[in-house]
Amino acid sequence: LAKTTQPISMDSYEGQEVNITCSHNNIATNDYITWYQQFPSQGPRFIIQGYKTKVTNEVASLFIPADRKSSTLSLPRVSLSDTAVYYCLVGDREGRRALTFGSGTRLQVQP
């Protein structure tokens, strides 16, 4: 299983850009990298997914270097509502192997 490592917590202020890095040294060739957001007492919610290079959607960007041993979730101009736990997940395309979430990064956004 591809194990992921993330910082336990991060602090930021409203309007700043936040970058959360996830390490996944033993990622397999056909693994994809996915990030989820979780608010207290709710199930995780999909944010973004990528395989290599850069992916951008309306809420975030995902940067993946050539060796794919790490990835960085970038949240532009965070607001108080972005305070949540962010999980990095590495898994194969077909879901034929068990999925492993990391412990997550608790992001606290201050006014």
Give me the residues that bind another protein (CB under 8 A), please: 1, 32, 34, 36, 41-46, 49, 87, 89, 91, 93-96, 98-104
* Residue with smaller CB distance to another protein, 1 or 59: 1
Which residue do the tokens 């999909």 mark?
Answer: 46
Q: Is 82 helix (H, G, I), strand (E, B) or coil?
A: helix
Residue with tokens 């995902």: 62
**Gap between the Cα atoms of 105 and 57, Å rounded:** 20
Q: How far is the CB of 51 from another protein (least distance, A)?
A: 9
Which residue lies nearer to another protein by CB, 15 or 22?
Answer: 22
User: Residue 63 or residue 101: which is nearer to another protein going by CB?
Assistant: 101
Q: In angstroms, what is the minimal distance from the CB of 16 to another protein?
A: 25
CB of 38 to another protein, least distance (A): 8
**Maximum distance among all Cα pairs of the chain, rounded to whole angstroms:** 43
The three-class DSSP label of residue 27 is coil
